[in-house]
A and B are shown apart, each in its own frame.
Chain A
Amino acid sequence: MISLQRVTKVYRNGTTALDDVSMEVEKGEFVFIVGASGSGKSTMIRLLLKEDEATKGDIYVAGKNVAKLTAWKVPHLRRNIGTVFQDFKLLQDKTVFENVAFALEVIGKTKNVIDQRVPEILDLVGLGDKLNNYPDELSGGEQQRVSLARACVNRPLVLLADEPTGNLDPSTSVDIMRLLDKVNRIGTTIVMATHDQAIVDAMRRRVIELEKGKVVRDQARGVYS
């Protein structure tokens, strides 16, 4: 489902964020990318989304060679990938419903489909009663659940999460992890970058550890360190 082959990323200012990284993620896996701040976790997520280009090496996501993707096909890659970030990335001038609906609108789903699927997925994340609220009327945990609903409403093959619990308190984080686990169990491949030790240790999933841009550990059913 995801494959990195000898990927190196050197930023324009000379920083080497990823250094000859290779890894394979199978369909339906749940993988934690762990490592200290600055070890290259976010860079890896950005490369998978083609928000940035690898300096060297090949990247495959959902069968597509990301490096060879032309600019106008990038939106189609992203429609197969759900994303969740530390800062939620919600549109402040849209309601909860509209934020989630937006992900379906951009892929041309009809109003019928939207009106059916959006409340369904918002129910699933426990926000069935907040459809018409605006993001700034929600707690951090609720905003992250909206973001997760938006990421999943389109039933993506892959879900990429970059520190999704970074702005949340421990009990809210556990709620989010339960949801992610649920999403993974219906077959979605999940790659989650985090430095939240408690969560990694509790979940007991595959752990890939980065250190200064290199993979230093790849362990099935691992712990943080």
Chain B
Amino acid sequence: MAKLDYFFRETTSGLRRNGLVAFAAISTTFIALLLFGLALLISRQVNIMIDRTTGNVEVAIYLSDPVNDQNVASLRETLMALPIVATVDYENKQEAYERFQDLFANSRELVDNVDPEALPASLRVKLSEPERFQEVAAVLGCEPGRGGYVCAAPGVETLVDQREFLDRLFAVTRVFRVGVLLVAIVMLVSAAVLIANTVRMGLFARRKEIGIMKLVGATNWRIRIPFLIEGLFESLIGAVAAILVLFALKVAFINPLNDSVQFVPWIVNRDVLAIVPWLLFAGVLVAIVAGLVGMRRFLDV
């Protein structure tokens, strides 16, 4: 009777102890892979924004009212003379208003409150090498000032380099992305340490059985593999939970944006699906490395 009681206590206390660490390992893997997935998705979001916009990036030269056709013609000539300028298009007030309506299609009050006449006409300049924007500013005698650049050339109100604005936006998201990635790596390492610990504790709890297995000539690998699988199992549970939460986050936060902020391209379900293999791979890698570290030396004959 005392012997049975002892076995019962040894088994349950071992399970509880190991269960707690297993739970810790699962939740750390979950958080690590969630952050890793977030970093990947942010990076994807930034990339599709860059893709969409770089094709359309323009220098906008806003013209002062009233528009003088002669000024426009001479500006066009000056610009076309520059080798970096690809195209110059004139956008009148009506077209500017239409574009504005498109952009803010979901904010009717805003559109209704804007007088078509209030929007300036502009020249939209596409550059073959957007990074050499300064040459455009120089030829028009522009200096950085309020609302973009203030220019000396007649008939020009302001000049805006859209790329500059986008660059600033992307720099911010890049820093953010690197930060999330760093936290994800720290969490992945912690997850590995915890998994290594569950493996080690599992081996310790079953050291008697392991001794018997070795006695009948079981190789170390035959003994190791079940413990590796246990670690793999923990890590995959964490990975699957992270994937589900990422989908839930996408539905909860991106889908509403999709309706309200249509002028920005947002990630779609397929983008989330595309990172699933990476998360699973990271989970498997962490579990295997952790398992091998956890059982190092433990099984030496």
Q: Which residues of A contact B (CB under 8 A)?
A: 49-51, 71-72, 74-79, 83, 89-93, 102-103, 106-107, 136, 150
Contacts and interface: CB of A to CB of B under 8 A. Distances in A.
A78 B212 contact: no
B212 A107 contact: no
Nearest to B3: A136
B215 A76 contact: no
B143 to A, nearest CB: 76
B217 A107 contact: yes
Contacts of B264: none
B205 to A, nearest CB: 12
Contacts of A91: 209, 212
Contacts of B301: 50-51, 71, 74
Contacts of A51: 301
Q: Contact size class for B?
A: 10 to 19
A83 B209 CA distance: 15
Given A74-B301, A89-B212, A106-B218, 13 more contacts: A51-B301, A71-B301, A75-B214, A75-B220, A79-B216, A83-B215, A89-B215, A90-B212, A92-B7, A102-B213, A103-B216, A103-B217, A136-B4
Interface of B: 4, 7, 209, 211-220, 222, 300-301
B217 A76 contact: yes
B212 A106 contact: no
A136 B8 CA distance: 13
B216 A72 contact: no
A136 B222 CA distance: 25
A51 B212 CA distance: 12
A51 B216 CA distance: 12
Contacts of A76: 217
Contacts of B215: 49, 78, 83, 89
Q: Which 8 A-B pairs have the closest CB atoms?
A: A79-B217, A78-B217, A106-B218, A103-B216, A75-B217, A75-B219, A74-B301, A71-B301
Contacts of A72: 219-220
B209 A106 contact: no
A77 B301 CA distance: 12
Contacts of B219: 72, 75, 106
Nearest to A90: B212
21 contacts: A49-B215, A51-B301, A72-B219, A72-B220, A75-B217, A75-B218, A75-B220, A78-B214, A78-B215, A79-B216, A79-B217, A83-B215, A89-B215, A90-B212, A91-B212, A102-B213, A103-B216, A106-B217, A107-B217, A136-B4, A150-B216
A32 B217 CA distance: 24
| Residue from B4, B215, B218, B220 whose CB has the most chain A CB atoms within 10 Å | B215
A83 B215 CA distance: 8
A83 B213 CA distance: 12
Contacts of A90: 212
Nearest to A107: B217
Contacts of A50: 301
B56 to A, nearest CB: 63
Contacts of B211: 89
Contacts of B4: 136
Nearest to A77: B217
Contacts of A83: 215-216
Nearest to A76: B217
Given A72-B219, A75-B218, A75-B219, A106 B300 contact: no
